[in-house]
Structure formats: C-alpha cells, structure tokens
A and B are shown apart, each in its own frame.
Chain A
C-alpha cells in the first residue's frame, strides 16, 4: 500500500504531483520572503509546465500569495519592516491605477497591436530597472568596501529631490525615516497599478525598485511594505478571478501555500542577513533573467504557432 502522491484538481482539470507542487511553492516562497516580490512571474510558467492551464495557474497563484504574504508581512511587521502608512497610500494609488489600467488595455486592444506594445514596454522597463539596480548596487558595494569608488552616477538628479520637496501635503513616514508628499506614493502606486493591470502581473518587482529609487525608502522597509501591499492586491485578484472567471483552484493554492509560506519564513530570515545592496543586486539579477526570457520568447520561433487565449 503506497501513499498516493498525486491529487486531482477539479478547477485546473488535471492531476498534479503533490511533492512537486510543494517544492515549487517552497522555492518561490523563499524568493518572495527575501525580496518582497510575489513571484508570480516564476510560478505561473512553472505551473503551466505541470499541465495547469495558464489562467488557472495565474489566478491560483494569486490565491496562494494571499497566504504567503500574510505570513511574510507578519514576520516583517515583527521585525519593524512595514511602513503601513506608506503601504496604504501605495495601495490606494494601486487600486485607482489598476482600474485605469483595465480601461487603458481595452482602448489599446481596440487600436490593435496591444500585445506588441505591452511586450516591448515590459522588456524595456525590466531591462532598464534591472540594469540600473545592478550597476547602482554594484557601485555602492564597491564604495562600501573602499575600493575604486567607481564614481557612482548621481542616483537621481537633485532637481528630482527639489521637485519632491516642493509638492504639497508633505508628511513624515517615521518607519521609513523619510518626509515626502502624500501625493508621491499615490502617484507611483497608481503608475504601478496601471502597469500591472496592463501586463497582468502582481507588480511586486516593479513596486520594489519604485520604492527604493523613487520613494527613497530603506531596502528592508521596502520588502516588508511591498509584501503588505501585495497581500491586499492579491485578495482583490482572487475574489475577482473566482467570481468572474472561475479560475481559482483552491486546492492547488493551498498546496502552493504550504510550501511557499514556509519558504517565505526562511526567506525573510535570509533577507535580514543580507545587506541592502546585496538584496538589490540579487533582485536585479532575477529581473534581468525574466527580461532575457521574455526577449528570447519574442525572438525565437515558437514550436507551435498558436497560443491559448488567456495564456502568455
């Protein structure tokens, strides 16, 4: 009598190997805990390789991120790494931006070639963010070690800082140790909301660089605050996807969650041991890998010249 290692998932319409799903959840949860990103950009394609339809993979992943980010947010909250005030402002901006983004994508689709615009924007943005983060953190790591100071490019012109200071509704964000206009997180939250609605991603790995470079928040607070924000975004996505598209496979989500919540706990502890610059350089590496993967998919001839609607 052997223990069954597979489980049939009625919404996904396929059976999966339990250990493989737990392992996948654990690996992606680890990254999520370290960097504060949802990991959907990794999880969805890997689930598709296991025979889960793309739409179900993405929606169920959102459901598991709800659990993983609850666990991640709590541990970061205990470590004092969540700027709730900033998180809420970003969230409000994100909801407004997400709604605008959904309308924008409708207009783009009506104009035709929307997919093309989206993919190009994605590759350019990921490339830009990835390379910028990589070289910026490399520069500051070298500087910290006292080696050739690599003449770090002025990270953000002072005109930007002056403009930020001139904005109305300046307020303190004590947890992040910064003073900024309340409009800034609203604006950037909205921008990420628009982008993630258009691209169909959670936006964690766009939001993290925005917090670091645009909002000038310390890296450790960025990770906790990002998870806090991701939690609410994914609750919204789960309920919307379940009620409108019936694509949330709860059992799959629960299996992934078991793996990822544990992974996220270890991730948060690993992240705490790493320097801010190290975190940034590793995250930039992941962002660049995703960028190159997308670029490859755009350039290489696909095996089958068809795609299921709702997939990538």
Chain B
C-alpha cells in the first residue's frame, strides 16, 4: 500500500513541469527526521533534506502531500450585488500540502515554475464554469491563504563543490496544520532554468500518543465518542459550577 502511494506521489511530482526532457537521478536524499511524529506538542517542524547535485547546479526542494480532490463552492454575484456561494467545483489531483524552497541562485521565474504557480498545470477543476484556469488560480490563492501551499518555505544552502558535486542542505518549515499520510520530498538540480537531475524520497507523518488515541476514538467509535464528549462536558460544567458555588457560599 505504502509502495503504491509512493508511486502515486512520484508520478504526481514528476507530472509537474520539468523543463528538459530527461533528467539524471541524484544520489539518495537524506531527510531528518526520517518520519514526522504528530504528538500533542506538535506545532509544525523543520525538516532537513540533504543531498548532492552536479557541480554548478542550483537546487529546488519540494514537499508534496498525497493528491486529493478538494470539493469547494465558487463565489459569485447574485442580482449583481450580493456575493454568494454558487456553483460546486471540485479540484482534483491537488496535493494536500505543498512546500517549495530554492537556493539563492534560482531565478524567480524558475522557482515559480516548480513552485505553487506551477501546480496550475496539473490541478484540474471540474465545474460547469468555462473559465477553469481562473478557478485554479483562485484555488492556489485559497490554499496559500490557508498556509497549506507555500513558496519560499525554507532555505537551501549550497556547500563548496567537491568531486564534481555540490552538497546541499535544505530546511523546510512544515506547517502545524498537517494530517497523517505519506509526503514526498523531491530535490531538483537546476541549470540554466532547466532540471538536469532529480532525486526523491518519502516521509511518513503519523499520530502518536494522545492524538492517536483521540483520532481512533473519533473515527473508530464515533457515537460513543460523541456521547462521552457530551458527558465529560456536562461533568466539566458541573465541577466548575460547584467550584463557584463553593466560593460564593453564604452569598444568598
């Protein structure tokens, strides 16, 4: 299953614009930490990706979540004055999360091509509205406002060349809004605005500790969870009311 997911993620990233036809494969990438543990104290994290690119290359590093279909509503004017939610629209093949960081020497237009604006080429809008491109642009804006898609989401540092290769280290700021799943991490070696080599690895994010227990209850035993949530809330209210009654004893 995980292998399948990895293949899908690989295809997804490969489907993003890659400029030149064939690109070499980079030496294996090292991601630190190798997995993301979402515990109660998780509040976003820095993911370090290290690797080597051919000498003279610049580097773009991307992290992408699993491709998902987002169901949304398009806003439009009713009677020419009131903004309302109108047509339903589904955006398919869109990653749950997308982060990009580029080394300093990458031209802005190149960074954009492999970054959030470049996603427009593969995300499909399913709607009756003929202007699908405008809708996809709005979707990218929406995801950026939600902080789920980000360009310049970290720094890429290049080390001095050695043996015809340039080591690099990238730090990506992974957002606090993260759900469990497999995330693909990809490094692109860029020369003259084109990809000359690429490397890829995957990183798994999973709930541990209290979040794992709560998610299991909420999804696996939903009705019981709802009943317990209500009972605990009532008890909480009773306790607080009791405390206040105690502090006011003799007031009336």
| Interface hit among A82-90, A146-154, A241-249 | A241-249
A149 to B215 CA separation, bound complex (whole angstroms): 61
A240 to B229 CA separation, bound complex (whole angstroms): 12
A265 to B40 CA separation, bound complex (whole angstroms): 30
CB-CB contacts below 8 Å: B207-252 with A:
207, 210-212, 214-215, 218-219, 222-223, 225-230, 232-234, 236-238, 240-241, 244-245
Assess whether A262 is in contact with B240, with CB atoms less than 8 Å apart: yes
Q: Does A290 contact B (CB under 8 A)?
A: no
Q: Does A257 contact B (CB under 8 A)?
A: yes
How far apart are A91's CB and chain B's nearest CB, in angstroms? 16
How far apart are A257's CB and chain B's nearest CB, in angstroms? 5
A57 to B9 CA separation, bound complex (whole angstroms): 31
Closest to B42 in A: A8
How far apart are A83's CB and chain B's nearest CB, in angstroms? 19
Q: Which residues of A contact B237 (CB under 8 A)?
A: 66-72, 74, 257, 261
CB-CB contacts below 8 Å: B157-183 with A:
176-179
Assess whether B75 is in contact with A258, with CB atoms less than 8 Å apart: no
Assess whether B142 is in contact with A304, with CB atoms less than 8 Å apart: yes
Q: Does B24 contact A (CB under 8 A)?
A: no
Q: Does A301 contact B (CB under 8 A)?
A: yes
* Size bracket of the A interface: 35 or more
| Interface hit among A11-19, A181-189, A204-212, A213-221 | A11-19
Q: Does A46 contact B (CB under 8 A)?
A: no
Assess whether A67 is in contact with B207, with CB atoms less than 8 Å apart: no
A116 and B84 in contact, given A63-B233, A74-B241 (Cβ under 8 angstroms): yes
* Size bracket of the B interface: 35 or more
Q: Does A134 contact B (CB under 8 A)?
A: no
Hey, what's the 0/1 contact readout for A58-69 against B, CB within 8 Å counting as 1?
000001101111
Closest to A11 in B: B218
* Contacting residue for A15 out of B44, B73, B218, B241, CB 8 A: B44
Q: Does B145 contact A (CB under 8 A)?
A: yes
Hey, what's the 0/1 contact readout for A249-265 against B, CB within 8 Å counting as 1?
01101100110011001
Assess whether B145 is in contact with A303, with CB atoms less than 8 Å apart: yes
Q: Does B132 contact A (CB under 8 A)?
A: no
Q: Does B121 contact A (CB under 8 A)?
A: no
Assess whether B40 is in contact with A7, with CB atoms less than 8 Å apart: yes
How far apart are B251's CB and chain A's nearest CB, in angstroms? 10
CB-CB contacts below 8 Å: A32-73 with B:
51, 63-64, 66-72
Assess whether A298 is in contact with B145, with CB atoms less than 8 Å apart: no
CB-CB contacts below 8 Å: B16-61 with A:
38-44
* Contacting residue for B83 out of A70, A71, A297, CB 8 A: A297
How far apart are B247's CB and chain A's nearest CB, in angstroms? 9
Q: Which residues of B contact A165 (CB under 8 A)?
A: none
Q: Which residues of B contact A64 (CB under 8 A)?
A: 233
How far apart are B177's CB and chain A's nearest CB, in angstroms? 4
Q: Does B93 contact A (CB under 8 A)?
A: no
Assess whether B238 is in contact with A239, with CB atoms less than 8 Å apart: no
Assess whether A242 is in contact with B211, with CB atoms less than 8 Å apart: no
Closest to B229 in A: A250
A75 to B31 CA separation, bound complex (whole angstroms): 56
A297 to B225 CA separation, bound complex (whole angstroms): 35
Q: Which residues of A contact B38 (CB under 8 A)?
A: 8, 10
Q: Which residues of A contact B70 (CB under 8 A)?
A: 308
A302 to B141 CA separation, bound complex (whole angstroms): 12
Closest to B212 in A: A10
Q: Which residues of B contact A159 (CB under 8 A)?
A: none
A304 and B176 in contact, given A7-B40, A15-B44, A250-B229 (Cβ under 8 angstroms): no
Q: Does A111 contact B (CB under 8 A)?
A: no
Known interface pairs A69-B237, A74-B238, A265-B240; 11 further A-B residue pairs with C-beta atoms within 8 A, sorted by A's residue number: A66-B229, A70-B234, A235-B230, A244-B222, A246-B218, A258-B240, A261-B237, A300-B83, A304-B138, A305-B76, A306-B72
- A residues engaging B (CB < 8 A)? 4, 6-11, 13-15, 51, 63-64, 66-72, 74-75, 78, 113, 115-116, 119, 235, 238-244, 246, 248, 250-251, 253-254, 257-258, 261-262, 265, 297-309
- B residues engaging A (CB < 8 A)? 38-44, 70-76, 78, 81-86, 88-89, 135, 138-139, 141-142, 145-147, 176-179, 207, 210-212, 214-215, 218-219, 222-223, 225-230, 232-234, 236-238, 240-241, 244-245
